[in-house]
Structure 1
Amino acid sequence: MTAQNHTAEPITTEHPGILRVATYNIHKGVQGLGPARRLEIHNLGLAVEQLDADIVCLQEVRAMNRREALYFDRWPEVSQAEYLAPEGYAAIYRTNAYTRHGEHGNALLTRWPVVGHRHEDISDHRFEQRGLLHVEVEVQGRRVHAIVVHLGLIAGSRLRQVAQIQRFIEREVPGDAPLVVAGDFNDWGLQIKNMLAGFGLFEYDEAPQAYTYPARLPMVQLDHVYVRGLRPLSLHVPRGRIWWRMSDHLPLIAEFQL
């Protein structure tokens, strides 16, 4: 794991012993198509702050995009991960995909000090560039490992990517360390959930209809927060017009007992 200098002063939480984790696919900070598309990154900045999470896992985050920077007058001068990080949070970003006009990937924002981080390519074929972001955070005196993922659109690819994630965990995460695996799993069934349970990763199962996609009329839960070594306490999906306007996904917020 790469040592780095992205440290943050921990913000006092209202509930010591609780870890609050959010995951959110931000759709690259832009909604709509063609001339009708609109910039939502500024609203997303306010939204991320409202999540009030210890760890925020983000997908489809742009490091830069030359075309959109020219199109939108208020395009941020810094990367989206840096822009979205509330005051006092560390922002860790790693690229998954390189495109004609820029690049995008996964990010993790946290109010707790970051010990180290690394990235691993989990692309399964040449048409989709995918990766995982692994960040080790010191939370209330405990080392917690967090992995941010955005799995592929093809069912077979997702299964092979989960197998890659399992091998990564076995290699990089101590067996007794608290572990969070969160992100957009792109899975409409239970196959991925059952695979993860097979190697000890579970999520809170007592919240009915924690649907996150599509944001305007949610019908399925594509976004998940799985843990090992922590007790799931709750799962919550913010709803309302202000949320479905910002992305095609809704955020998911989970709380765990440390």
Structure 2
Amino acid sequence: MKLRIATYNIHKGVSSLRSMPRIHALKQALTSMEADIFFLQEVQGRHDKYATRHATLWPEQAQHQFLAGESHEAVYGMNAVYDHGHHGNALLSRFPVVASSNRDISDHAFEARGILHCIVQSPEADLHCYVVHLGLFAGSRKRQTDALIEAVLTSSPPDAPLIIAGDFNDWTNQLSDSLREYLGVTEVFDGNLSSRGFGSYLRMLSGRGPKIKPARTFPAALPWLRLDRIYVRGFQIESAQVLHGALWAKLSDHAPILASLALK
């Protein structure tokens, strides 16, 4: 089975500069990706101020429902709640979502973070999908990664096809090795290791080989920091790319990652 997936921090559906609504353009951009499953962060479930100020540009539906349209099923995990609204993570799936749960992994009062776990019923297997948005501080990210590992180990079978995707804010790339070690996952931009042979992979894991670096995704106008990730288990990675350029720079401060997978 072939699978096309994307992860994208949509910046609450507003532009990086002046916070102008971009939600309609975002929907067109997501449609153009033709992904089966989207892993979205900073999705605005409700924002009364934007809805009032930009009535003609702001959809009446919650963003996850609006972006899903008729082609995808939407699941929303609310993380941050305030007087005029809330936002969180969302998963949009072309296949049925048979179960979902949202786990609070906030590390302090100033950053509300969560892990949205969805079981997606694909034609060939149930896929365990985790949408992640980690904190801005290194200590928080380490504790949240430990919580992610514990969540995956306790909520999915060890042989289940697995996708973990989102905004890890891990610009120093300190978290990937733990996820590889404890969950047996591969980051989609690790795929070029296969052409180097198993020995290269072992040298990388032991620290004696070249450090594998994820893709640059932030800022979208000129990606430099490596913030966003897609980790998979039980899949062959066929391709992975960062979508950037003038179009994407207008939509969010992050650039999306799009990957094509084949179920093993």
TM-score by length of 2: 0.87
Q: Name the SS for the 1:232 alignment partner.
A: strand
Q: Tell me the distance in 2 between the aligned counterparts of 1:191 and 1:209.
A: 11
CA 37–124 in structure 1, closer or farther in 2 if over 3 Å, else same: closer
Q: Name the SS for the 1:106 alignment partner.
A: strand
Partner of 1:140: 123
Q: Tell me the distance in 1 between the aligned counterparts of 2:86 and 2:133.
A: 15
Partner of 1:52: 34
1:233 matched to 2:238: yes
What is the alpha-carbon root mean square deviation over aligned residues? Answer: 1.4
Q: Tell me the distance in 2 between the aligned counterparts of 1:177 and 1:90.
A: 21
1:105 CA displacement: 0.1
- Aligned residues between the structures: 240
8 Å CA contact 2:8, 2:41 repeated in 1? yes
Partner of 1:81: 64
Partner of 1:6: none
Superimposed CA distance per residue, residues 12-60 of structure 1 (whole angstroms, 9 cap, x where no aligned partner): xxxxx21111000000001145xx4311000000011111111100000
Q: Tell me the distance in 2 between the aligned counterparts of 1:165 and 1:59.
A: 16
Q: 2:164 aligns with which of 171, 181, 185?
A: 181
1:171 matched to 2:171: no
CA 220–206 in structure 1, closer or farther in 2 if over 3 Å, else same: farther
1:209 CA displacement: 7.3
1:40 matched to 2:45: no
Runs of at least 5 residues in structure 1 that lack an aligned partner in the other structure: 1-16
Partner of 1:5: none
Partner of 1:28: 12
> Which aligned segments of 4 or more residues in structure 1 are displaced greater than 6 angstroms?
none
Superimposed CA distance per residue, residues 128-147 of structure 1 (whole angstroms, 9 cap, x where no aligned partner): 11001000011122110000
Amino acid at match of 1:117: S
Q: Tell me the distance in 2 between the aligned counterparts of 1:32 and 1:131.
A: 23
CA 218–176 in structure 1, closer or farther in 2 if over 3 Å, else same: same
1:151 CA displacement: 0.2
Partner of 1:63: 45
Superposed, which structure 2 residues align to 1:79-228 within 5 Å? Answer: 79-199=62-182, 200-204=184-188, 205-206=190-191, 210-228=215-233
Q: Tell me the distance in 1 between the aligned counterparts of 2:153 and 2:225.
A: 30
Amino acid at match of 2:95: W
Q: Name the SS for the 1:145 alignment partner.
A: strand
Superimposed CA distance per residue, residues 165-210 of structure 1 (whole angstroms, 9 cap, x where no aligned partner): 1111111101110010000000112211111111212112247873
8 Å CA contact 1:203, 1:232 repeated in 2? no
CA 209–135 in structure 1, closer or farther in 2 if over 3 Å, else same: closer
1:221 CA displacement: 2.1
Q: Tell me the distance in 2 between the aligned counterparts of 1:155 and 1:56.
A: 26
TM-score by length of 1: 0.89
Q: Tell me the distance in 1 between the aligned counterparts of 2:36 and 2:15.
A: 27
Amino acid at match of 2:244: R
Larger helix proportion, structure 1 or 2?
2
1:81 CA displacement: 0.2
Q: Tell me the distance in 2 between the aligned counterparts of 1:222 and 1:68.
A: 27
1:18 matched to 2:2: yes
